[in-house]
Amino acid sequence: MAGKRFDGKVVIITGAGGGIGREYALYFGSEGAKVVVNDLGGDRAGGGKGSDMADKVVAEIKAAGGDAVSNYDSVATREGASGIMWSAINKYGKIDIIINNAGILRDRTLVNMTDGDWNLIMDVHLRGTYLVCQAAARIFKAQETGGRIINTTSLAGLLGNFGQTNYGSAKAGIFGFTRVASIELAKMGVTVNAIAPVALTRLTEDIAMLKGAKKEEIGPQFIVPAVAFLASEAGAGITGQVLGVQSGRIFVYKMAVSEGVTKEPSKGLWTIDEIKDKWDEISANPQAAY
């Protein structure tokens, strides 16, 4: 009888107390992985904390015959990121897969944005991704066994979305972070990819594009296969990629660069009028840069 897909692997999932993170945790637990279920236990705006959300998911995994441990640390602090790693090392002796999923929303238009709304989103999403990835990378380097890191970006960061300058900026930062980290960690045998999911969860239930949607049609369960693929041996040769997942559709986001127009330096600098006249040519025929 064949073993389960992730037998013996140790998986850390941040923000795994509900939504997409919970789906990840239940899947990996059912496929033989030992799961660190991290969740601060707060609301979707980042307020409050508690142990119930993480503990319930751990109980679900164990009830189904899996192995899991709770962690309640915040990804937004260095101490929290270290604590998450410690939970894995102390309980299971190693780490294999990191899924950065923790997130909150504080949507406001630019003119109404407060420093608090901006800073907290940056701390949880961008700083949290940095801190957890750095802590994990140092362990991966010491283990010398390779590993997988899967970050979470967003349509808002890649294409834009009204009322989300803070969230979109953080998620765009995660795109750039993932690209660079994939280059730096390649020599360690660590792949670094990201997903940009669209799914109906507690975080997204009042977003306009999901109005009237049903979980059966675009719920968090649709995101799991893409992440499982990137975490598995089947995805071993893939790094630096951003997978979009929307219901049953999976696709890849790519940075596009137009063919452009060159003016020979010997003919002087471009003028405003020249750029205006050539604009259609300058902006035409975008090509994927990677």
> Is there a contact between 149 and 227 (Cβ–Cβ < 8 Å)?
no
- What does each C-alpha distance from 4 to 31, 57, 153, 248 come to in angstroms? 5, 20, 29, 24
Tokens 């923000």 correspond to 15
Q: How far apart are CA 16 and CA 58, in angstroms?
A: 10
Q: What share of the chain is helix, strand, coil (3-state, %, to 5)?
A: 45, 15, 40
19-30 and 224-231 helices, crossing angle to 10°? 50
Q: Between these two residues, 96 and 199, which has the higher pLDDT value?
A: 96
- The confidence score (pLDDT) of residue 1 equals 43
Residue 24 designated active-site: no
3-state secondary structure of 134: helix
For the domain made up of 10-253, give the CATH fold: Rossmann fold (3.40.50)
Q: 230-277, pLDDT tens digit by residue?
A: 999 999 999 999 999 988 899 999 999 999 999 999 999 999 999 999
Tokens of 236: 């071993």
Q: How far apart are CA 195 and CA 197, in angstroms?
A: 6
Q: How far is CA 174 from the centre of its chain?
A: 8
Q: How far apart are CA 38 and CA 135, in angstroms?
A: 15
Lateral strand order in the sheet of 97-99: 67-71, 34-38, 10-13, 97-99, 147-152, 190-198, 242-246, 249-253
Given the residues 24, 27, 167, 253, the one annotated as active site: 167
Q: Classify residue 23 as exposed, middle or buried by CB count within 10 Å of its CB (0-12, 13-18, 19+).
A: buried
Q: Is the confidence at residue 59, as pLDDT, over 60?
A: yes
> Is there a contact between 185 and 162 (Cβ–Cβ < 8 Å)?
no
- What does each C-alpha distance from 192 to 129, 153, 235 come to in angstroms? 12, 13, 11
Q: How far apart are CA 33 and CA 30, in angstroms?
A: 7
Q: Between these two residues, 49 and 192, which has the higher pLDDT value?
A: 192
Q: Residue 153: which of 170, 137, 130 has the closest Cα?
A: 170
Q: How far is CA 261 from the centre of its chain?
A: 36
- The confidence score (pLDDT) of residue 111 equals 98
Please state the domain extents for the chain.
10-253, 254-290
Q: Is the confidence at residue 209, as pLDDT, over 70?
A: no
Q: 103-156, pLDDT tens digit by residue?
A: 999 999 999 999 999 999 999 999 999 999 999 999 999 999 999 999 999 999
